[in-house]
Amino acid sequence: MVNFEEQATQKLFEQNTITKEQLQTIQAYKSLNLFSVHNELKFLLYISILMFTSGIGILIYQNIDTIGHVAILGLLLVVTVICFYFCFKNHEGFKKEEVAFPNPLYDYLVLTAVILSCTFVGYLQFQYQTFGTQYGLAILVPTIISLFCAYYFDNKSVLSIGITGMAAYLGLSVDPKHYFENEMFYNHALSYIGLAFGLALLLWTLYASKINLKKHFNLVYLTFSLHLIGIACMVNLCDDYWFPFGIVLGIAAYYFYNLSFQIKSISLFIFTVLYGFIGMNIFFVRFIDSLGLEDIFSVFIFTTPFYFVLIIIGFIKLIKHFNKKTSDDSIR
């Protein structure tokens, strides 16, 4: 990392982008070996919020008979209102472009308020059936609150909660139990919903970029979209009507692959390669099977070790190509 920074600085000097005095100043600053603890502090704040909200949930669970439902709901409401009060008081309001709090601590206060709001609505529905048998409303209300707060307070973490809430409202569960039970494989309607939702998120990203609405949210939407499209297509590649989903996955992988270079997102790049690789193998096996050439599989058994070695080498070269390409673009 240090060598790369030195090479990049030297390249800027060779391109006459910076002067010799600026180069010497940068080198003198690097020699001090200073480092920032900004990300570490933000991570600790995030962990503290999760521990605080989890602690409230445990407190409610362990003392629900002694404290009382009304007291618990009242306490949740008071803490939530206080959090929202300070958030609204210290924010400039909604704007289409990125607007940050004067103090980053308020971003975590928004996250706390939204999590407590979800807890309040969920507890209200569980104990008093406020929405009756319309359990979807108990999911939709916190989702609307999360999306409103995400756009109003410009908070990506809250946006992720809102998107997860929309997925849950559509019946797409993120509970690991459902994955271990292969629920999506047995209920293909869920895979169709997941594919449609992923495409809808992608279309919304394109539209938001066109009208310049919170363009810095695009990576969050694109990440959810990639996972939904990738998983849904791979599930349907194992179904009888597999061919169209192989085409969709191929187009999506090509699009996200090029997009990852444009926005310089290593996470988007890695998951695109992963979904594309798995989907390509499933598609190839299904294609060979449909031609009735099962004897070819016996050849693959002997070539499998070499195949995986080539895949690992190819993946490493792709990562190096991505780093070189994005680094060169950033220097330019």
Would you list the DSSP string of 201-242?
Answer: HHHHHHHHHHTTSSGGGHHHHHHHHHHHHHHHHHHHHTSSS-
Per-residue pLDDT for 330 more than 80? no
With cut-offs at 50, 70 and 90, classify the pLDDT of residue 217: very high
Highest mean pLDDT, choosing among 12-26, 84-98, 165-179: 84-98
With cut-offs at 50, 70 and 90, classify the pLDDT of residue 184: low
Mean pLDDT computed over every residue of the chain: 83
What pLDDT, on the 0 to 100 scale, is given for residue 329? Answer: 53
| CA distances (Å), origin 2, targets 286, 325, 329, 330 | 47, 18, 19, 16
What pLDDT, on the 0 to 100 scale, is given for residue 1? Answer: 46
Per-residue pLDDT for 192 more than 80? yes
Gyration radius (Cα) of the chain, Å: 25
Q: pLDDT digits over 84-122, tens only?
A: 999 999 988 898 888 888 888 888 899 999 999 998 898
What pLDDT, on the 0 to 100 scale, is given for residue 328? Answer: 58
Gap between the terminal Cα atoms of the chain: 19
Mean pLDDT value across residues 196-218: 94
With cut-offs at 50, 70 and 90, classify the pLDDT of residue 180: very low
Helix (H, G, I), strand (E, B) or coil at 170: coil
Q: Which range, of 105-119, 152-166, 259-273, 295-309, averages the lowest pLDDT?
A: 295-309
**What percent of the chain stands above pLDDT 70?**
85
Q: pLDDT digits over 132-158, tens only?
A: 777 788 889 999 999 999 999 999 999
Highest mean pLDDT, choosing among 78-87, 100-109, 278-287: 78-87
